[in-house]
């Protein structure tokens, strides 16, 4: 939980779009996690080639990904964001 608090503080100071490459179901994606302005400090959109793939958010102490396609990768995406800011 301490890491997530650090993440939220870092995010408040340094908002940006974060590049991410990941594989899912034998396909490699080159995407970005983009801050959703005005939605609090912990909501991100996963975008690939200007296509919306879903919303990542920190709910309490859990990462949630709203789209079913990548739902199982919520912790991976969240941990990636935390590592980016450390």
pLDDT of residue 40: 67
Q: Residue 67 and residue 55: Cα distance in Å, rounded?
A: 7
Question: Can you give the pLDDT at residue 16?
Answer: 74
What is the tens place of the pLDDT at every residue in 13-47?
555 789 999 999 999 999 999 988 776 668 899 99
Over 80: is that where the pLDDT of 8 sits? no
CA distance to 12, 27, 69, 74, per residue, from 84 (Å): 14, 23, 24, 15
Is the pTM above the cut of 0.85? no
Number of C-beta neighbours around residue 69 at 10 A: 12
């Amino acid at each position: 939980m301490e890491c997530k608090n650090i993440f939220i503080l870092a995010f408040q100071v340094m908002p940006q779009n974060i590049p991410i490459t990941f594989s899912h179901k034998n396909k490699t994606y080159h995407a970005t996690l983009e801050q959703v302005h005005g939605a609090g400090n912990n909501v991100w959109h996963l975008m690939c080639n200007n296509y919306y793939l879903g919303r990542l958010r920190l709910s309490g102490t859990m990462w949630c990904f709203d789209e079913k396609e990548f739902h199982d990768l919520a912790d991976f995406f969240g941990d990636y964001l935390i590592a980016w800011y450390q």
